[in-house]
C-alpha cells in the first residue's frame, strides 16, 4: 500500500515531469512551485492513511494489553544525548543525524530513535525501580531514501526499565510479534541473538578483529570502513556474508550469566508460544545493546528493508548518558515498513454509514447523523443541497458499506438503507438504526 503513488506523495524526481526534458526544452513553461514534500518524507492521505490509523490503533491496543503506559519525549534533544547513547561509531551518529545549531547556539538533533530519550526522561524524573513506557511518533535519519527507508519515518516502541529479568526480554519480543501477527503481516519471523555483557565484549571483539584482518583483502570497501569503527557490524554485511561463514559470533562468547539469561529468554518465548529462530550473526545497528538482541522480518520486502522492527537489552545505556545504572530492554517497530509489508490489502472502510438526504429533510438528517455519532458509529453525510444522485456518488466514494436515505419514510419512523455491496434495500426503524448498523 505504501507504494501507491496517488495517495502517498513522494519526492521522486526534480520537477521536470511532463515538462522541458521530453520536449527538448523548446517550450517555455511557467515555473511550477515545488509542492512535493522534502526528499525522503511523505504526505499520507486517504485511503492509505486508513491503514495507518488501523495500525497505530492496533499498536495502542497491544502496548496497553502488555501494561505499557504512554510516554512522550521531545522530537529534538541535545546532540550529545545521541552521540553518547546511540554511540559515536554507529552509522546513525556518524552519517544520519539531522543536527543543527539553534538560535541560542546549542547543538540539537532531531531524534533518530526513541530509546535514549526515554531513558533520559526516566532518569530526569527521578523514577526508581521498574517502569514501562510506550511511544509512537516520527524519527529522523538522513538515509538514502527508498520504499520503507525514509528520512522521516514512524516508530512505535516500548522500553521496560529497571529490571534485568529475562522475562521482560521475552515479554517485549512477544509484544512485537503479537502486534505484527494481529495486523496480518505475512510470514513474520522473530530472529534472536545474545550479544553478551560489556565485560565479555573486548575478548570477543579482539578475536573477531583478528579473523577479519586475516580476510581483509576479501572484504568489501564498506566492511573495511566499518571494521575500523565497529567490527561487529561487519557480521551484518550481506555482501561479505559468503566469506564470513565461519566467523566467530557473539553467542559463542557469552559469560555464564549472559548465557543463562539467553536460555531463559528462549524458554519464556517457547512458553508464550512465540516461534523464533536463532540468528548468531544478528548484531543491530546501535551501540547500546547487551545480551538479548532481536529483529522481526516478514512481508514482501526486499533485502534493504527487511527489518520491520527490532530491539534488545541495553543495561549500560543509562550510565552512558550520564545517569546511574538502570538496566532496560525495549523494541521499536518501523511503521512505514509494516505498511509496505501489508501489501495491497484493501483497507477496511473508514465509515459505518453514509447519509443521503432527500429535499426538505435537512433538519431530520442532521439530527440523525448527530444521534448515530453519539451512539459510537462512524457516520458522514453528503451536502444535502446537492441532488440525490450526486449524494449517492459521494456515498459510493466514501467506501461506507451502508447508505442511509432520509426521505418521506421518516414520517412513519423509518429510514431506507442500502447495502452498497449488492444494492439490497431495507427500511429500518429510526430507533433501531444504530443497533442495526453496528
Ligand atoms: P532500529 O533497528 O534502528 O532500532 O529501528 C527500529 C526499526 O525502525 C527498524 O527495524 C525499522 O523497521 C525502522 N526504521 C529504522 N530506520 C528507518 C528508516 N530510515 N525508514 C523507515 N523505517 C526505519 C531502534 O531505533 C531502537 N531504538 C529500538 C529499541 C528500542 N531498542 C531498544 N529499545
Rounded CA-CA distance 4/11 in Å is 13
The CB of 266 under 6 Å from ligand 1? The reply is no
Start-end of CATH 3.30.930.10 domains in the chain: 48-197+255-342
The CB of 113 under 6 Å from ligand 1? The reply is yes
The CB of 118 under 6 Å from ligand 1? The reply is no
pLDDT in tens, 424-436: 999 999 999 999 9
User: 306-311 long-range CB contacts below 8 Å, 24 or more apart?
Assistant: 307/334, 307/337, 308/180, 308/185, 308/188, 308/333, 308/334, 308/337, 308/338, 308/341, 309/176, 309/180, 309/333, 309/334, 309/338, 310/284, 311/157, 311/172, 311/173, 311/176
The CB of 312 under 6 Å from ligand 1? The reply is yes
Cβ contact 196:253 at 8 Å: yes
Task: Compute, in angstroms, the gap from residue 52 CA to the centroid of ligand 1.
Answer: 17
pLDDT in tens, 41-65: 999 998 889 999 999 999 999 999 9
Task: Compute, in angstroms, the gap from residue 334 CA to the centroid of ligand 1.
Answer: 6
Task: Compute, in angstroms, the gap from residue 426 CA to the centroid of ligand 1.
Answer: 50
Which stretches of the chain drop beneath a pLDDT of 50? 1-6, 11-25, 303-304
pLDDT at 307: 93
pLDDT at 6: 39
Predicted model pTM = 0.89
Residue whose Cα lies nearest atom 20 of ligand 1: it is 149
Rounded CA-CA distance 194/294 in Å is 8
Start-end of CATH 3.40.50.800 domains in the chain: 353-437
The CB of 40 under 6 Å from ligand 1? The reply is no
Percent of the chain with pLDDT over 90: 80
pLDDT at 27: 55
pLDDT in tens, 370-408: 999 999 999 999 999 999 999 999 999 999 999 999 999
pLDDT at 312: 98
Q: Tell me which of 311, 314, 320 to substitute to probe ligand 1's pocket, judged by most ligand atoms within 8 Å of the beta carbon.
A: 311
Q: Centre a 10 Å sphere on the Cβ of residue 115 and count the other Cβ atoms it contains.
A: 26
Residue whose Cα lies nearest atom 22 of ligand 1: it is 334
Question: Which CATH number does the domain 48-197+255-342 belong to among 3.30.930.10, 3.40.50.10540, 3.40.50.300, 1.10.1200.10?
Answer: 3.30.930.10
pLDDT at 292: 98
The CB of 318 under 6 Å from ligand 1? The reply is no
Task: Compute, in angstroms, the gap from residue 65 CA to the centroid of ligand 1.
Answer: 22
Residue whose Cα lies nearest atom 21 of ligand 1: it is 149
For domain 353-437, the question of CATH label 1.10.443.10 is answered with no
What kind and span of H or E run contains 48?
Answer: helix 48-65
Amino acid at each position: 500500500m505504501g507504494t501507491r503513488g496517488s495517495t502517498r506523495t513522494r519526492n521522486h524526481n526534480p520537477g521536470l515531469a511532463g515538462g522541458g526534458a521530453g520536449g527538448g526544452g523548446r517550450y517555455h513553461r511557467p515555473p511550477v512551485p515545488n509542492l512535493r514534500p522534502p526528499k525522503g518524507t511523505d504526505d499520507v492521505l486517504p485511503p492509505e492513511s486508513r491503514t495507518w490509523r488501523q495500525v497505530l490503533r492496533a499498536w495502542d491496543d497491544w502496548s496497553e494489553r502488555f501494561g505499557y503506559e504512554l510516554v512522550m519525549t521531545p522530537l529534538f534533544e541535545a546532540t550529545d544525548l545521541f552521540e553518547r547513547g546511540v554511540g559515536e561509531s554507529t552509522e546513525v551518529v556518524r552519517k544520519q543525524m539531522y543536527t543543527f545549531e539553534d538560535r541560542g547556539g546549542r547543538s540539537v538533533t532531531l531524534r533518530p530513535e526513541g530509546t535514549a530519550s526515554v531513558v533520559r526522561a526516566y532518569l530526569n524524573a527521578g523514577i526508581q525501580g521498574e517502569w514501562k513506557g510506550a511511544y509512537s511518533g516520527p524519527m529522523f535519519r538522513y538515509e538514502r531514501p527508498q520504499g520503507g527507508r525514509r528520512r522521516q519515518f514512524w516508530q512505535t516502541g516500548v522500553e521496560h526499565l529497571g529490571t534485568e529479568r529475562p522475562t521482560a526480554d521475552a515479554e517485549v519480543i512477544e509484544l512485537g510479534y503479537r502486534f505484527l501477527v494481529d495486523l496480518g503481516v505475512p510470514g513474520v519471523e522473530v530472529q534472536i541473538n545474545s550479544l553478551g555483557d560489556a565485560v565479555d565484549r573486548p575478548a570477543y571483539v579482539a578475536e573477531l578483529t583478528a579473523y577479519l584482518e586475516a580476510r581483509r583483502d576479501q572484504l568489501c570497501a564498506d566492511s573495511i570502513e566499518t571494521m575500523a569503527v565497529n567490527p561487529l557490524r561487519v557480521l551484518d554485511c550481506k555482501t561479505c556474508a559468503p566469506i564470513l561463514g565461519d566467523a566467530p559470533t557473539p553467542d559463542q562468547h557469552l559469560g555464564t550469566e549472559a548465557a543463562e539469561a539467553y536460555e531463559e529468554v528462549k524458554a519464556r518465548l517457547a512458553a508464550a508460544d512465540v516461534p523464533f529462530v536463532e540468528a548468531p550473526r544478528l548484531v543491530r545497528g546501535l551501540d547500546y545493546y547487551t545480551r538479548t538482541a532481536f529483529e522481526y522480518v516478514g512481508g514482501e520486502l526486499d533485502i534493504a528493508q527487511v527489518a520491520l522492527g527490532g530491539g534488545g537489552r541495553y543495561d549500560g545505556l543509562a550510565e552512558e548518558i550520564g545517569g546511574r545504572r538502570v538496566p532496560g530492554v525495549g523494541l521499536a517497530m518501523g511503521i512505514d515498513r509494516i505498511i509496505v509489508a501489508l501489501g495491497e490489502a484493501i483497507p477496511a472502510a473508514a465509515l459505518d454509514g453514509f447519509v443521503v438526504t432527500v429535499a426538505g429533510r435537512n433538519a431530520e438528517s442532521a439530527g440523525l447523523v448527530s444521534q448515530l455519532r453519539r451512539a459510537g458509529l462512524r457516520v458522514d453525510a453528503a451536502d444535502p443541497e446537492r441532488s440525490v444522485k450526486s449524494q449517492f456518488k459521494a456515498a459510493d466514494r466514501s467506501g461506507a458499506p451502508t447508505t442511509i436515505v432520509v426521505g418521506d419514510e421518516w414520517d412513519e419512523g423509518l429510514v431506507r438503507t442500502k447495502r452498497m455491496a449488492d444494492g439490497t434495500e431495507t427500511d429500518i426503524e429510526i430507533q433501531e438504526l444504530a443497533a442495526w448498523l453496528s
